[in-house]
Chain A
Amino acid sequence: MLYPSSFLAPAFAVLAVFFFLPTVFNFVYAFTDWSAFHDDIRPVGLANVKAVLSNGALLSSLRITIVYAVLVAIMQTGFGLGLALLLERDTRINRFARVVFFIPVLMSALAVGYTFQALLKPDGPLNGLLGALIGQQVTIPWLGSTTWTVVTVAFVNSWKWMGLAMVIFLAGLKTIPADVLEAARIDGAGRWRTFLSIRFPLIAPAVTFNVATALLGSFNGFDTILATTGGGPAQQTEVLDIYIFRVYGNGLFAQATTMSLALLLLVALLAFPVIGYLRKRERVL
């Protein structure tokens, strides 16, 4: 049965107000002098673009954002796939374990961040545990390394979301026809060969979804990082959203908007090739 297209109006109205309008404003404000310091808003052309490009912090934040997003995509997908394979069989213990691993997905990202901040202190429980295992004091500053802390926060974020990736992979694994797997077994394929040649190619849509959501979602990484490191040490985990937040807090609203525009462009530039490549993999199905 066909419904009149006017039925779409309410949905489009909501879309216009809550999506299109803010996006348009994002473009407009990026070319003005909007700030906390005065009410007037005047156009300033490309002055904000020049200002944010002249500052090395934007490029540094972009680099950190990309590193962080790639790390999250790899870890989250990897952890999710590992868990899905581990908990694939429908036993009572596995069903319980799936629930346990899904709990962090439901937790507040800030709560997760603060919990890990406490766990990872130089005199925190993790170092305490390691110290007890090796029999001497361990004081690794997990969140204090200017090189490795970005890996640590990517791990924390991946830990939080790996339950979701697990569920998506489990759904993918469950759709593989039993006769295909049985045929492979009759043909003499071992577990590893079956996984590489049959199971992994057949869950390509799940891989696409997990990699795309983890990678592109992490470009907007904010809450977990804010709670664990606040962008430190030495701004080495200051992803673009945290940098934008800081600039916005300084009252430079237009420049923050210009940076969010840069983020939008970056995500768009990366999203199309990444999703395009992953979708291409699915065509074998």
Chain B
Amino acid sequence: MKTRGLSRAAAAATCGALLLAGCSAGNPGTSSAPAGPVTTAWPDPGAGLQGVTLTLWMSTQTAAMADNVIKSFEAKTGAKITKVVIPDVYETNAPTKLATGAKPDLATWQPTGSMLALLKPSTDLQSLDGAPWLARQTPAIQKLGVVNGHHYAAFVNVPSVLGVFYNKSVFQKAGITSPPKNFSELLADAQKIKAKGVAPFFGAAGDQWPTQWWPQVLLAEASKKGLWERVSQNKEKFTDPEILGAVRQFQDMVKQGLFNQDDKTSKYTESGPALLKGEAAMVLQLTSFASLMQSTADTATIDREIGWFPISKDGNIATSVPGGDNALVAFKTGDPKREAGARQFLRFWLETYYPDYVKSAGTVSIEPAVPTPAGVPEAVKQATAALDDAAGSMQQNAAVNPDFYVNLANMVNGTMTPEQVTSTTQSQFAQLAQALGIQGF
């Protein structure tokens, strides 16, 4: 963007208001039109691609997920795929790299509106409208990864939902025979567990990001009634009673000592072993938390020891948070051969290779015609089933993604009040919304 950007800035400075209005911000989907489905060709998944090299950006968490697909694709087509692992934090470092002018052909990416906005989908991403694999996927998946009516993300995995993973033995010892039916029951159960000397919940505020899940599950019903859309239009604020109330509730739980004693310094990776060992009774996490447990226990052990239920303020609604390991995006690179090659790779992964992929990854299939393999933990299957009725998370439904979690972690550490958390988050939200050019900010 750099030198061109500077010259534009200089030009804009001298051209006056009319020209400035003409250079309006590129709100995704509102500026230059994406390649429509009419003109997009979808190459045969197995067609020869000798001499074509595609670059694929991945995070450290997703570094190995495509290895088998890549090997198979290269063998079948003759293409070469160069995998580039971007160091953590991927969601920060990848856009920074893009800003320097680097551009891959493909990348794994969190397929939510707010995160896709960082990639300037309307101008920089290939539209995947009309992709042959879309019709094969479940209806819930088909609705996701869409910005301003256009598909920009190819889902390869089932999107994560928020739910509570619990240790069955700890529940039994506390005399809890069935999962709670709403948040009040959850808190009552937590008190019973605390009375037995076990931490009811494992929080990992040392990593900051897990803190944001608590207010979000408390807002599931509100989300279904359009909370995040109203926040995105500046018709409702984080400081208003709905979100502030959820943050206060979370603070109340911390004050009551319902979390592990070392919550402030604990890391996400410590939450899996803590739950399996029964050091904590519950962990509120994404479906992908099962993979963390699978790194230290086999599926039979997980099924025997660990249960799962969704939770919301008034019931058992799950909250959907598509993650960085769920989908890929294809960039507009200006090279038609490579752009077509990227689309072909996605077709290969989601059509030709998909049955092998779910088997080797041990994951739930998102294509009804492809059976889910044996060895997938029961909790993951339940979480997947809950997706159909799930509410959208802030990441999924809000226009931008502020650092809500940083402010919540500050609250857990006692340096911010719920009022400060919500007002700081609101001002961050407004700044990002302004940068995106959203009306009303």
Within 8 A of B (CB), among A3-34: 25, 28-29, 32-34
* Nearest Cβ on chain A to B188's Cβ, whole angstroms: 30
Inter-chain contacts of A230 with B (CB < 8 A): 208
- For A42, give the chain B residue with the smallest CB separation: B12
B6 beta carbon closer than 8 Å to chain A: yes
Q: Is A251 a contact of B24 with CB atoms below 8 Å? A: no
Q: Are A251 and B118 in contact (CB under 8 A)?
A: yes
* Interface membership of A235, Cβ < 8 A: yes
B437 touches A251 (CB 8 A): no
Nearest CB on A from B181, distance (A): 35
- Does A38 sit at the interface, judged by CB under 8 A? yes
Is the CB–CB distance between B118 and A37 below 8 Å?
yes
CA distance A253 to B435 in the complex (A): 10
Instruction: Answer whether residue B431 sits at the interface, using C-beta atoms and an 8 A cutoff.
Output: yes
Q: Verify if A125 is at the interface (C-beta below 8 Å from B).
A: no
- Give the total of A residues in contact with B, Cβ under 8 Å: 42
Q: Which residue of B lies closest to A35 (CB)?
A: B435
Please, which residue of chain B has its CB at the minimum distance from the CB of A230? Answer: B208
What residues of B have a CB within 8 angstroms of the CB of A43 in the complex? 9, 12-13
Closest Cβ of chain A: how far from B436's Cβ, in Å? 5
Instruction: List, in ascending order, chain B residues with CB within 8 A of A54's CB.
Output: 427
Main secondary structure of the interface of A (DSSP, over half): loop
Contact B26 A249 (CB under 8 A): no
Partner of B99, one of A25, A36, A38, A236: A36
Q: Which residues of A contact B265 (CB under 8 A)?
A: 121-122, 141, 143-144, 233
Contact across chains for B436 and A37 when beta carbons are under 8 A apart: yes
From known contacts A233-B264, A234-B414, A255-B431, infer whether A37 and B93 are also in contact, taking CB-CB under 8 Å: no
A175 at the interface (CB under 8 A from B): no
CA distance A255 to B432 in the complex (A): 11
Contact A41 B414 (CB under 8 A): no
A200 contacts B by Cβ under 8 Å: no
Q: Is B409 located at the chain interface by the 8 A CB criterion? A: yes
A51 in contact (CB, < 8 A): yes
The verdict on A40 contacting B23 (CB below 8 Å), with A144-B264, A234-B416 known, is yes
Q: A51 touching B431 by the CB < 8 A rule? A: yes
**Cross-chain contact B26 with A39 (CB below 8 angstroms):** yes
Contact B6 A41 (CB under 8 A): yes
In the assembled complex, B294 has its CB within 8 A of some CB on chain A: no
- Indicate if the CB atoms of B413 and A41 lie closer than 8 Å: no
CB of A37 within 8 A of CB of B410, answer no
Interface residues of B in 410-428 (CB under 8 A from A): 410, 412-416, 424, 427-428
Q: Is B305 an interface residue (CB 8 A)?
A: no
B residues less than 8 Å from A255 (CB atoms): 431
Query: Which chain B residues (378-410) contact chain A, with CB distance < 8 Å?
Result: 402-403, 406, 409-410
**Given the complex, which residues of A lie within 8 Å of B208, measured CB to CB?**
230, 232
Given the known A-B contacts A250-B432, A251-B95, are A37 and B437 also in contact in the complex, defined by CB atoms under 8 Å?
A: yes
Is B27 positioned at the interface, with any CB of A under 8 Å from its CB? yes
State whether A253 and B9 are in contact (beta carbons under 8 Å apart), knowing that A39-B26, A232-B208 are contacts in the complex. Answer: no
Report how far A34 CA is from B100 CA in the complex, Å.
13
Contact check: which of B8, B31, B119, B402 meets A41 at CB < 8 Å? B8
Q: Give the complex CA separation of A121 and B31 in angstroms.
A: 50
Instruction: Tell me the interface secondary structure of chain B in the complex.
Output: helix
B6 touches A28 (CB 8 A): yes
Are B413 and A233 interface neighbours, CB within 8 A?
yes
Please determine whether A146 and B25 come into contact, CB atoms closer than 8 angstroms.
Answer: no
For A251, list chain B residues within 8 Å (CB). 95, 117-118, 432, 435
A55, CB-defined interface residue at 8 Å: yes
- Cα(A54)–Cα(B8), bound, Å: 28
Among A32, A38, A235, chain B packs the most CB atoms within 10 A around the CB of A38
CA distance A54 to B20 in the complex (A): 26
Given the complex of chains A and B, what is the CA–CA distance between A34 and B9 in angstroms? Answer: 9
Q: Which of B259-312 contact A (CB under 8 A)?
A: 262, 264-265
A252 at the interface (CB under 8 A from B): yes
Give bound CA distance, A144 to B207, whole Å. Answer: 11
* Interface check A248, CB cutoff 8 A: yes
A89 at the interface (CB under 8 A from B): no
The yes or no answer to B206 lying at the interface (CB within 8 A) is: yes
A146 to B409, CA, bound (A): 12
Neighbouring B residues of A35 by C-beta, 8 Å: 435-436
Q: Does A195 sit within 8 A of B, measured CB to CB?
A: no
Whether A249 pairs with B91 at a CB distance below 8 angstroms is yes
Bound form: Cα–Cα A38–B432 in Å: 12
Judge if B102 is at the interface, Cβ distance under 8 Å. Answer: no
The yes or no answer to A245 lying at the interface (CB within 8 A) is: yes
Tell me the complex Cα distance, A251–B89, Å: 14
Report the nearest A residue to B93, measured CB to CB.
A249
Residues in B with CB closer than 8 Å to A232 are: 206, 208, 409, 413
Q: How far is the CA of A112 from the CA of B183 in the complex (A)?
A: 43
Bound complex: CA A142 to CA B92 (Å) = 27
Complex partner residue of A252 from B13, B409, B431, CB under 8 angstroms: B431
Between A and B, 7 residue pairs with Cβ closer than 8 Å are A37-B118, A37-B120, A41-B1, A42-B20, A146-B415, A233-B413, A245-B92
Q: B-side interface residues toward A, CB under 8 Å? A: 1-2, 5-6, 8-9, 12-13, 20, 23-28, 31, 89, 91-93, 95-96, 98-99, 117-120, 123, 205-206, 208, 262, 264-265, 402-403, 406, 409-410, 412-416, 424, 427-428, 431-432, 435-437
Minimum-distance CB pairs A-B, first 10: A249-B92, A234-B413, A38-B26, A144-B265, A35-B435, A234-B415, A41-B5, A234-B410, A38-B25, A41-B9
Beyond known contacts A37-B25, A43-B9: 17 more, CB 8 A cutoff: A33-B25, A35-B436, A36-B99, A36-B118, A37-B437, A39-B123, A40-B24, A42-B12, A42-B23, A121-B265, A234-B409, A248-B92, A249-B93, A249-B96, A250-B402, A250-B403, A251-B435
